[in-house]
Amino acid sequence: MGRDRGPDCRLCRREGEKLFLKGARCFTHKCAIERREYAPGQHGAKRAKLSNFGLQMREKQKVKRIYGIFERQFRNYFYRAARAKGVTGSTLLQFLERRLDNVIFQTGFATSRSEARQIVSHGFVHVNGKSVNVPSFLVKKDDEVTLIFKKDKGLKNVKENIESSAQRKMPTWLNVDKDQYKTKVIRLPQREDIEYPVNEQLIVELYSR
C-alpha cells in the first residue's frame, strides 16, 4: 500500500482548515495553520476563486486526507456506496467511519489516524477474538475490538495516547472501555455522528459527471 510521506501540516494549509493529522500538535500553538492560514507554495497567499468543479475536487481531496486514503480506494468506496441502499454521500462517509484504523483513532487509543494504522498493521488489534492487521477492515454492529499487547510492547504509547485524548468527545456509536482497551460497536455510525465540516454532496456531484 502506498503512503504519503509529505508534511501533514502542509495538507491542512492546502485545505484551509484543520484536518487533525498530527495528533496532539493540532491542539497547540505549534499548529501550522494557526501560524500560516494561507496555502503552501510561492503563491499560496493568493487564493483564487474556485469553479464548481474546483470546489468538488477540493472537497474530495479534503475527505481523502482526513481518512488517509488514496484515489483508487476512495473511488471504490464511492461506487460501493452508490450501489447500496440509502443516500450515497452518507453511506460513503459511513464506510469511511467504519474503517478499523478510524475506530482506533476515535476511541483515543491513537492520537491520529496514521498512528492508528500503525497500531493495526503491527498486529495489536483483535476483532471478535481474531487478529486483524488490515486498517481498511470495516467493523459491523456488535463487533468487539480489543488491543492485545505482547510483553507490554506498544502499551506505554497507548496509555499516553489515552491520557492526551481524555478531553476528546467519544462517538456515541462506540462503547469504549479504556481500562480493558476494548471497544464495542453498538450501532453503525450515522451522518450526524460525523462532526467534520464535510459537504458530501459535492463529492457525489463530482463522481456523477
Classified by CATH at the fold level, domain 99-188 comes out as 3.10.290
Q: Report which residue type is found at 31.
A: C
- Fold classification of 8-93+196-207 is Ribosomal Protein S4 Delta 41; Chain A, domain 1 (1.10.1050)
Q: What is the DSSP string of the chain?
A: -----S-HHHHHHHHTS----SGGGGGSTT-HHHH--SPSSTTTTSPPPP-HHHHHHHHHHHHHHHHT--HHHHHHHHHHHHHSSS-HHHHHHHHHHTBHHHHHHHTTSSSSHHHHHHHHHTT-EEETTEE---TTPBP-TT-EEEE--STTTTHHHHHHHHHHTTTSPPPTTEEEETTTTEEEE-S---GGG--S---HHHHHHHHT-
β-pairing, 174-177 vs 130-131, is unpaired
| Residues forming a β-bridge with 185 | 174
As a whole number of angstroms, the distance between CA 48 and CA 30 comes to: 27
Cα–Cα dist 37/32, whole Å:
8
**Residues with Cβ within 8 Å of residue 69, at least 6 apart in sequence:** 77, 96, 136
What pLDDT is attached to residue 106?
A: 93
Say if residues 112 and 120 touch (Cβ distance below 8 Å): no
pLDDT score of 1: 42
How far apart, in whole angstroms, are the C-alpha atoms of residue 74 and residue 78?
6
- Within 13 Å, how many C-alpha atoms sit on residue 176's CB side? 18
Say how far apart CA 175 and CA 91 lie, in whole Å: 22
Per-residue pLDDT, 189: 96
Helix axes 88-97, 52-67, angle to 10 degrees: 20
- How much is the pLDDT for 45? 54
The series of mean pLDDT values per 10 residues for the chain, 209 residues long, is 52 56 56 57 60 91 91 96 95 97 95 92 95 97 94 84 86 95 96 89 93
Which pLDDT value is given to residue 154? 80
Q: What pTM was estimated for this model as a whole?
A: 0.79
pLDDT at 80: 96
Distance CA 42, CA 47 (A): 11
The domain locations on the chain are 8-93+196-207, 99-188
